[in-house]
Structure 1
Amino acid sequence: MGGAALRLNSLFEQLLGTPLPVRIRAWDGSQAGPPDAPALVVRNRRAVRRLLWKPGELGLARAWVAGDLDVEGDLYTALDLMAGLVWERGENAKSLTETLRDPDARAAVRGLVKLTGLPLPPAPPAEEVRRTHHLHTRRTDRRAISHHYDVGNDFYETVLGPSMVYSCAYWPDPDATLADAQRDKLELVCRKLALTPGQRLLDVGCGWGSMALHAAREHGVDVVGITLSQEQAAYARKRVAEEGLADRVEIRVQDYRDVTDGPFDAISSIGMAEHVGAERYLDYARNLHRLLVPGGRLLNHQIARRPHGDESAYHVDEFIDAYVFPDGELEPVGSTVTQLERAGFEVRDVESIREHYALTLRHWVANLEADWRHAVSLAGAGRARVWRLYMAASALAFERNRIGVNQVLAVRTPQSGTSGLPLRARTWN
């Protein structure tokens, strides 16, 4: 006890106006704080400098990715305890400027500077990508997708397992295997789309080809899968060839805006629309509507954020934007439904599967932690740390209902008004 940790604990409590819910273990080996709580390991003074120069989520993320901060004990428990300080401060939280009007807070900052020094701000970790604003042009989307997905197929195999599906699984029960739950998700999508042999399916954001392969193999459809990732496309094409489905599945490196060889009988978009951007979403929906035959179905599987009281005040998550999904944007599910209908779709079903994503993410984190050294050798320590934090924090966000995920089934209903759905449509359950 005592030493730098006691001083840090006291100064942070003074600055934040509340006791820290976790222990602190400082660079000199000292510890302070609740003895039974996980420890926030402050490996060096640079970690505190990062927080002083960039208070809040981004400063914490930079320190974590650089290895200046770590957690000793259960990561989920630590993140859960810190959520109130970092992610859930609410609309009435004080800004840094307002906080520093308090004499005690100013004194705490002076104490932290005295303890750690305050030279020029530490350089951000190499894994950070910064955007000035969200353009969502073909060029910027291609670059953002490459940042996230071209990390290395071997790394993703370590995290995702043999299914190579990077979206929410569909769990029959919590004790099922990840592979079975991902298979059930792909089958659920196929049933919602009512795929039959000989139909054409467009899989937008096809990833490593799992949906395309499942639909062709199990439902006899011809599939065009598109992605902006060169590494994903190469991996998917190899899988297609190995399964002898090259005559049924075509994988392209192509932007959804550039697909011209419609019409398709069905379109699946699984975990892709988060990359589209709010300003481009109506164009996205109109493009997919244009590519469908009358009566054709779209299954849009997409993460959603909770709506805020003042939508104009919404800001993109700094950590996610800088390290995980550059230019990614989450919108409320109501906004998604509205835009799809504005584009001409008739939305027929919306299913929330929020809890399923929490389970999926916990399995991915377990995969990463179980083969940590191998993952670091493949992607580097910084990148592996990004994925561990991002997936663990996201699991908690789904569990605490801060974000959700929904499957929206929409139809390009013809002028006759015949949707093609049965009177009791949820036969897929």
Structure 2
Amino acid sequence: MLLVHLLAAAKGDGTLDLVTATGRHHSIGSGPPKLTLRLHDRAVERDLLLNPRLNFGEAYMDGRLSVDGGTIYDLLAMLMSGTEVQGALGRAAHSLSPLLRRLQQYNPMRRSRQNVEHHYNLSRQFYQLFLDRDMQYSCAYFPDPSMSLEDAQEAKKRHIAAKLLLVPGMRVLDIGCGWGGMALYLARRTGARVTGITLSSEQLAVARQRAQEAGLADRVNFELHDYREFAANHRGVFDRIVSVGMFEHVGVPHYRNYFDAVHDMLNDDGVALIHAIGRLDGPGATNPWIRKYIFPGGYSPALSEVLAVVERSALFTTDVEVLRLHYAETLRHWRNRFDAHREEAKKLFDERFCRMWEFYLAGAELAFRLQGHMVFQIQLARTLGAVPLTRDYMVNAEHELGSASTGSAGLRPARTPESAA
């Protein structure tokens, strides 16, 4: 049976019992079975051979395959820890993906808005089931692995703010502001005046409501804009730009437009901080199931793809940090919280949606644990003297932000040699 050979090659440690739609058992590995994979119709076997990267997730969503003795996370962990093997057509599609990705990642403004609405215009009530209280839908930061999700997301905001060298009154742009948590944090803790832009009407409404409730509407403004159209009317306006979890939606063909926009919107002493998912194993292509069901138009780049464009944008790269397993831990928290609230999610949507979300959270976590995904933070500036010569200021600012009370007037950065002169 060809599927048995495919699974045997893909499987890492552990023993898998494959049960076909006709009831035949195939033991894959040695020792007692740890997991059982059941196929519920004969066409599943064919589908998995033709395009496993797409059809495995679809079959799980549709209930055409199921797992006994564990969860979909356990099964994916077994399969993703081995050597990735694809069927003949799957290999052909994968080999063509670098050629096709310019089309897959072609995100003009209208398409970008559709892509964002596909994922982020799900209800606020749904995301509240598994996110932290501040609704941070991006990688948390775990200085201590035992931290709660709430504390780790607060640490993420603090870590980013420390790299922005903020002082009261600075004008900050948040590109892809989500539900507004980062913008509100910066305004509250540093005294900055923040503009957040998003393409999600659902997120925009929530962010504006939160700003009103926090009494920060006079210092934080949220707008529905694409970064390209916004840049055309805001040249040199901002002291700082921050973008968290948005760059994955830009698409490689638009990187030059993106960094040119960042450059043009910063003033001469401006600093930007880009926080995004990347890959450690070089350029690749988005998993077809993720592209179809979760993030259409999305792509997590290698740093080599990003920095090559930055070098041509008249921006200077002043700091790069790689966060390796922090997103794996973030996704573990999200996965456990979603599982605890699964019945509530089912009332909002349906069983197929819940199985889709289970597959997404499990596969995403394992991509960070086992397959070279990571998060990078790139600090950029228009001039070499815009930030201090050493990273001590980041540590000092992070410590001060951690000990500062809510409503702090803000932190003053260390003076650079240029500013001291």
Sort the Cα spacing of 1:136 and 1:18 in 2 relative to 1 into closer, same or farther, 3 A.
closer
Aligned to 1:317: 287
Which consecutive unaligned segments of at least 5 residues does structure 2 have? 93-101, 399-421
Q: Of the candidates 20, 24, 30, which is equivalent to residue 18 of structure 2?
A: 24
Q: Pairwise mapping of residues 273-352 of structure 1 onto structure 2 (< 5 A)?
A: 273-308=247-282, 314-352=284-322
Q: Is the 8 A contact 2:259 2:310 kept in 1?
A: yes
1:215 Cα deviation (Å)?
0.6
Aligned to 2:111: 140
Which secondary structure does the structure 1 equivalent of 2:137 belong to? Answer: coil
Aligned to 2:88: 95
Which secondary structure does the structure 1 equivalent of 2:179 belong to? Answer: coil
Aligned to 1:50: 47
The answer to whether the aligner puts 1:255 opposite 2:248 as a matched pair is: no
- Structure 2: how far apart are the matches of 1:14 and 1:172? 42
1:163 Cα deviation (Å)?
2.1
Which secondary structure does the structure 1 equivalent of 2:67 belong to? Answer: strand
Sort the Cα spacing of 1:95 and 1:411 in 2 relative to 1 into closer, same or farther, 3 A.
same
Q: Pairwise mapping of residues 215-234 of structure 1 onto structure 2 (< 5 A)?
A: 215-234=186-205
Which secondary structure does the structure 2 equivalent of 1:247 belong to? Answer: coil
Aligned to 1:359: 329
- Structure 2: how far apart are the matches of 1:57 and 1:15? 12
Q: Which moved more, 1:263-272 or 1:150-159?
A: 150-159
The answer to whether the aligner puts 1:373 opposite 2:343 as a matched pair is: yes
Q: Is the 8 A contact 2:172 2:193 kept in 1?
A: yes
1:204 Cα deviation (Å)?
0.4
Q: Is the 8 A contact 1:24 1:31 kept in 2?
A: yes
Aligned to 1:190: 161
- Structure 1: how far apart are the matches of 2:26 and 2:333? 32
- Percent identity over paired residues: 36
Which secondary structure does the structure 2 equivalent of 1:407 belong to? Answer: strand
Q: Is the 8 A contact 2:73 2:359 kept in 1?
A: no
Q: Which moved more, 1:346-355 or 1:383-392?
A: 383-392
- Structure 1: how far apart are the matches of 2:309 and 2:103? 26
- Structure 2: how far apart are the matches of 1:394 and 1:264? 34
Q: Pairwise mapping of residues 373-392 of structure 1 onto structure 2 (< 5 A)?
A: 373-392=343-362
Q: Which moved more, 1:335-344 or 1:235-244?
A: 335-344
Aligned to 1:109: none
- Structure 2: how far apart are the matches of 1:170 and 1:17? 36
Q: Of the candidates 79, 89, 99, which is equivalent to residue 82 of structure 1?
A: 79
Q: Of the candidates 141, 144, 147, which is equivalent to residue 176 of structure 1?
A: 147
The answer to whether the aligner puts 1:151 opposite 2:118 as a matched pair is: no
1:423 Cα deviation (Å)?
3.5
The answer to whether the aligner puts 1:420 opposite 2:387 as a matched pair is: yes
Opposite residue 134 of structure 1, the aligned amino acid is Q
1:139 Cα deviation (Å)?
0.6
- Structure 1: how far apart are the matches of 2:260 and 2:6? 50
Aligned to 2:365: 395
Opposite residue 60 of structure 2, the aligned amino acid is W
Q: Is the 8 A contact 1:161 1:367 kept in 2?
A: no
- Structure 1: how far apart are the matches of 2:77 and 2:7? 17
Aligned to 2:67: 71
Q: Of the candidates 9, 13, 30, which is equivalent to residue 4 of structure 2?
A: 13
1:425 Cα deviation (Å)?
4.4
Q: Is the 8 A contact 1:13 1:19 kept in 2?
A: no
Which secondary structure does the structure 2 equivalent of 1:196 belong to? Answer: coil
Aligned to 1:118: none
Sort the Cα spacing of 1:46 and 1:158 in 2 relative to 1 into closer, same or farther, 3 A.
farther
State the TM-score, normalized to the length of structure 2: 0.83
Q: Is the 8 A contact 1:46 1:68 kept in 2?
A: no
1:345 Cα deviation (Å)?
1.2
Which secondary structure does the structure 2 equivalent of 1:344 belong to? Answer: coil
Alignment RMSD, CA only? 2.6
- Structure 2: how far apart are the matches of 1:363 and 1:408? 25
- With a CA cutoff of 8 Å and minimum separation of 6, indicate the structure with the bigger relative contact order: 2
Opposite residue 40 of structure 2, the aligned amino acid is R
1:15 Cα deviation (Å)?
6.0
Q: Is the 8 A contact 1:152 1:379 kept in 2?
A: no
- Structure 2: how far apart are the matches of 1:153 and 1:216? 23
Q: Is the 8 A contact 2:10 2:79 kept in 1?
A: no
Aligned to 1:204: 175
Opposite residue 306 of structure 1, the aligned amino acid is L
Sort the Cα spacing of 1:18 and 1:204 in 2 relative to 1 into closer, same or farther, 3 A.
closer
- Structure 2: how far apart are the matches of 1:276 and 1:61? 25
What whole-Å deviation, never above 9, does each CA across 1:304-359 have from its counterpart, x for those lacking one?
Answer: 12344xx6xx4331111111100112221122122223211111111111211110
Tell me the number of residue pairs that the alignment of Structure 1 and Structure 2 aligns.
378
